[in-house]
Amino acid sequence: MNFKLNEGIEILERTPRTLEGFLAGLSAGWLEGDEGEGTWNAVGVVEHLIEGEKHNWIPRLKMILHDGESRVFPVFNRFSHVEEPSSKSIEEKLAEFASLRSDSVKELKALIVDQDHSLEATGLHPAFGEVSARELISTWVVHDLTHISQIVRVFSNRYREDVGPWKEYLGVLKRTEPS
């Protein structure tokens, strides 16, 4: 086990600026490119991250700390951003995500007052059953990373043929898992 709260927070705090550096001002060719029908483009990933700040991470952490295993988490709708498309620019969406994430990190720091106790508190996941605050926060961190990785993969695949024989050297082009 490697999780440390302060290190996890370092990643959570950085994701908005990582994505801002990566995505702000890009052409539609990058932002709107996906991996085929039913797959997400970079804009959709940012929308999904916004939904997570609103409805997933902090709300579930609060349930663990306040309700324990007396209530099952509501199911998080991973497709809500697909069902309610937004017309905001990518820069506006990145700013919204940054603002929500900043608030989330403040709440996280306020909620975990006694690490030894709070991180081992457990709640009930609808599919997995018992899960701990430590597992939830670790997952939040890796969830950020998995979606950065997804955008990188989508972008890389746009140039899958363009790289010619170098394809052999480029690990990112060998990944096919939908994440």
- Residues lying near its own copies in the complex (CB under 8 A): 1-4, 6-8, 10-11, 14, 17-22, 25-27, 29-30, 33, 125, 128-129, 131-132, 134-135, 138-139, 141-143, 145-146, 148-150, 152-153, 155-156, 158-159, 161-166, 169-175, 177-179
* Cβ closest to its own copies, residue 74 vs residue 129: 129
Q: How far is the CB of 97 from its own copies (least distance, A)?
A: 13
Q: How far is the CB of 88 from its own copies (least distance, A)?
A: 20
* Cβ closest to its own copies, residue 79 vs residue 159: 159
Spatial neighbors of 162 by CB under 8 A, at least 6 apart, are none
**Please, are residues 148 and 15 in contact by the beta-carbon 8 Å criterion?**
yes
Copy the structure tokens of residue 9. 């927070």
Copy the structure tokens of residue 28. 């539609």
Exposure string for 65-82, b = 16+ CB within 10 A, e = fewer: beeeeeeebeeeeeeebe
Q: How far is the CB of 87 from its own copies (least distance, A)?
A: 23
